[in-house]
Structure 1
């Protein structure tokens, strides 16, 4: 620990050697973490701009070899890519709006200490984190509700994340004092106005966290879409790119060895290209909410 010594109105700080050692270890671990994250990322970017032969021969490390846009031209030229991209945007925006609204409407009442049944209700929410109906009952439910092959089959089964609910509820408990509610009640503010005009403006960090977590989840989702969507023009981007890679597996079965090798090389290149195309929109979203993310996730994780 640092010691403060006052002498002739001058303040001097003396730090123990173990504090220097601790900070050195922190910097080393941070540097190692950055390297572990950046090296694979740089490799994927370099591989997406390299020739398939260079990839298969293991010549690509951190810089493109035999620079080419072949993978991007093939991927961006696919007839379903534009519709898949627009569908992903639609599913992400609509799904995230539903998620945030449902999370706030569930988290705020559960954060109120004057709600008598909040503990039993919270137990029921938590129970679903451990046990669920399963894939087949979920499919039958969506089918019986006549939501198959519609946007609602994609966004409604995941309308609420219990983990995000817990974080948001804890944020409300830790950030909004009971005195504010009492003061607003004296002024004639009901619960709904208190939520809209006071709680939500004060909950900007946790709302930004929810937007980021839900949006990333919707953007990367493909399993529910694969089960519930039948029309290819309704496929999201992730499912379109999966179909492209799956078609590459079956395209060369009836061809000679040379063609099969060429298709295998192209598939290997497309794997890295799809990673870049599918990740860039999410990477562009993160800087917009980054300043709220750390604050919201830390405050929301504190036990209330």
Structure 2
């Protein structure tokens, strides 16, 4: 391919700076990828090689015994099912309640907008505490149910503020045109506002899904039935308690193996990879402006 003689060359300072930036970014990528590579390598390496400390970036030997140990346990599948259920329901309720709350708060004609917004903001700085929260959930009969993992975090002030701000940036002329055509507020929200709000919906939905998927503390405090435990409770027992033997928890009595390094890394891989696979499908909404060209003329 012939070089374009008319192409203006970048100054030497810009090329040096660009090279430095590329080098720094490459180092950052390696630093971020190494933990994932190490986890995967240890999880599939020969346990003897792991104990000897010879596994670094690449696996040594090949052994899927740690994965088999996890998958062979009936409690593993029930915990996986619970985690998927909590994540799906929690994300849906969060997006639903946040949308129907943020939409009226984004309208200047809503007279109670300022007062209600202040009430929500207060909740960002003042909380009831763990014991009052536990007693409140108990009085609402939420303890030891799937709803205690789904409903309490479905509506937060921060998500409301983010979505309200995004709604306010949508041109009002779109809603006015719909009003002229006889559309109701609910029709405008569902057919106009939400389709244009995919970036904020994807952002809040992703952060919510990751938060619920990684949540073990709520299960530790509010759940007693082992059959309702999420996957993170198994991961916690392996990493924190240094053992998968929870003989006092009924169904966990079958997990009696010592928590070797391979088993720990396999449990991390199993619990982390599914939620990581969501990022490639949602990332585009963070960088793509769907409002471009929504109004012509």
Q: Describe the SS at the equivalent of 2:74.
A: coil
TM-score, scaled relative to structure 1:
0.82
Partner of 1:234: 228
Closer, same or farther in 2 for the Cα pair 1:201/1:249, shift >3 Å?
closer
In structure 2, the residue matched to 1:220 is 214
1:245/1:267 contact within 8 Å kept: no
d(CA) in 1 for partners of 2:143 and 2:45?
41
Check whether the contact 1:245–1:270 (CA below 8 A) recurs between aligned residues.
no
The structural deviation recorded for 1:54 is: 2.4
1:268 aligns with 261
Q: 278, 281, 285: which is aligned to 2:274?
A: 281
Question: Is contact 2:42–2:261 with CA below 8 Å preserved after alignment?
Answer: no
Aligned-partner Cα distance in 1 for 2:107–2:21: 39
CA distance in 1, matches of 2:157, 2:51: 43
SS of equivalent residue, structure 1 residue 201: helix
Distance in 1 (CA, whole Å) between partners of 2:9 and 2:64 is 57
After superposition, where does 1:1-304 map in structure 2 within 5 Å? 13=8, 15-174=10-169, 176-244=170-238, 249=243, 266-295=259-288
Query: Matched residues in 1 for 2:148 and 2:97: separation?
Result: 17
CA distance in 2, matches of 1:54, 1:169: 54
Change (3 A) 1:172 1:14: farther
Cα offsets for 1:241-282 (capped at 9, x unmatched): 33355675485xxxxxxxxxxx66x43222211110001111
Larger deviation, residues 180-189 vs 232-241: 180-189
Q: Residues 82 and 231 of structure 2 are in contact (CA less than 8 Å); yes or no, is this contact kept in structure 1?
A: yes
CA distance in structure 2 between the partners assigned to 1:85 and 1:27 by the alignment: 40
Other structure's SS at 1:275 match = helix
| More displaced stretch, 10-19 vs 157-166 | 10-19
Q: Structure 1's 226 and 41: CA in aligned 2 closer, same or farther, altered over 3 A?
A: same
SS at match of 2:278: helix
TM-score where L is the length of structure 2: 0.84
Aligned CA-pair RMSD: 2.6
Q: For residues 163 and 26 of structure 1, do their structure 2 counterparts lie closer, same or farther at Cα, with a shift above 3 Å needed?
A: farther
1:191-226, CA deviations, whole angstroms, 9 ceiling, x for partnerless residues? 221111110111122222222111111111111011
What is the CA–CA distance in structure 1 between the aligned matches of 2:110 and 2:187, rounded to whole Å?
Answer: 17
Distance of aligned partners of 1:11 and 1:200 in 2 relative to their CA distance in 1, 3 Å threshold: farther
Counterpart of 1:257? none
Q: How far apart are 1:160 and its partner, in Å?
A: 1.9
Could you tell me how far 1:14 is from its partner in structure 2? 5.5
Larger helix share, 1 or 2:
1
The unaligned stretches of length 5 or more in structure 2 are: 246-256, 293-297
Deviation at 1:239, TM superposition (A): 1.1
Residue 292 (structure 1) shift: 1.2
